[in-house]
Structure 1
Amino acid sequence: MKKYFVTGLLIWIPLVITLMVLAWIVNTLDQILLIAPAAVRPDALLGFHLPGVGVLVTLLLILITGLAAANFVGQRLVGFWESLLSRIPVVKSIYYSVKQVSDTLLSSNGQAFRKALLIQYPHQGIWTIAFQTGKPGGDAARHLGDDFVSVYVPTTPNPTSGFFLMLPRKDAIELDMSVDDALKYIISMGVVAPPSPPGSALHSSAALLNR
């Protein structure tokens, strides 16, 4: 009975948590429609509440914004908007700080979270997985030189918090592991192990066992 109960928990817990997260996202995005005039809200137009309309409206708005910003006129409007924000003291600092981080993380040309690394942290002999975020910049680069890398060490099971470190490149081992697999490994606290790379001893042993 205990084995069956645990098996049932392993099936229901991920499903319930996933549904709770999706419900929170849908409800949060639906709140965006509350800023629209009452006459044009979906509830007033349809005569009943339809969950998930906020998700569709948000995705449509993001898509239209991206299409508009891809042409010459849209780029001029974005430039005008950013120049306007740059004249507001407090808003300028917040906006450009967030913009630099988002451009680095989401841009296809950025180098953030492109590599999974194996480093010794918090002291020698203790190993953990980190992500390369670039190179030291500013005055730190002048003191450290070119042989250092900037890494982010996420915490478990919440990878959105962690530690920013600058360490010698020779102390970081680049892993043959995708960023997605590394994140799953961290979030699962080591339970969901990534597959062994082809050609390794573990990969060969697993192939023999599966025959």
Structure 2
Amino acid sequence: VILFPIAITFYITWWFIHFVDGFFSPIYAQLGIDIFGAHLMQLCPPFISWIGLGFVTSITFIFLVGVFMSSWLGASVLGLGEWFIKRMPFVRHIYNASKQISSAISPDQNTQAFKEVAIIRHPRIGEYAFAFIT
């Protein structure tokens, strides 16, 4: 009862860090960094661990994109990108749906954010769906 939640938490965290590391491993391989082999090839001793470097890189990348988008230039680039996407026939529907979902769950926009989560029953017995109360 005590160790199970701790073990599951560590396992899911370990899995997530390795999953994110997988995105950046080709870039690091070109730089000579073997994040899964846990050492910098020929430059560092093999006991220095680099596991989690992709996770740190992704957090840093997200932070830098946020800093850039909060500037005037970033807002201009975002506006131009939205203008371009909204003129594409199929892509604009996907973009609008994902933008509505992100604005609904964003804590910064209290006017559009949902207040509660509810479970509603469908006409068939045993079928339920999640609903967001605004």
Q: Is TM > 0.5 for Structure 1 vs Structure 2? A: yes
1:46 maps onto 2:37 in alignment: no
Look up the SS of the partner of 1:108 in the other structure.
Answer: coil
Rate the CA distance shift 1:27–1:95 in 2: closer, same or farther, 3 A.
same
Secondary structure of 1:26's aligned partner: helix
Q: Percent identity?
A: 24
Q: Which runs of 4+ in 1 moved over 3 A?
A: none
Scaled by the length of structure 2, the TM-score of the pair is 0.71
| Distance in 2 of aligned mates of 1:92 and 1:153 | 30
Structure 1 gaps of 5+ residues are 1-9, 115-130, 133-151, 155-160, 167-211
Residues 37 and 21 (structure 1 numbering): CA distance in 2 closer, same or farther, change over 3 Å?
closer
Q: 1:163 aligns to what?
A: 130
CA distance in 1 between partners of 2:21 and 2:132 (Å): 39
Name the larger-Rg structure: 1
Query: Per the alignment, in what secondary structure is the counterpart of residue 30 of structure 2?
Result: helix
Q: Deviations over 1:102-142 (max 9, x none)?
A: 1221141234343xxxxxxxxxxxxxxxx16xxxxxxxxxx
| 2:23 counterpart of 1:18 | no
Structure 1 length-normalised TM: 0.48
Query: Following the alignment from structure 2 to structure 1, what is the Cα–Cα distance between the partners of residues 132 and 52?
Result: 40
**Mapped contact 1:34–1:41 kept (Cα < 8 A):** no
Change (3 A) 1:75 1:162: same
Name 1:63's counterpart in structure 2: 63
Query: Aligned in 2, Cα 1:58/1:74: closer, same or farther, shift over 3 Å?
Result: same
Instruction: Tell me how many residue pairs correspond in the alignment.
Output: 116
Query: What are the residue-to-residue correspondences of 1:1-211 with 2, within 5 Å?
Result: 10-36=1-27, 38-40=29-31, 42-43=33-34, 46-47=40-41, 50-110=50-110, 111-114=112-115, 131=116, 152-153=118-119, 162-164=129-131
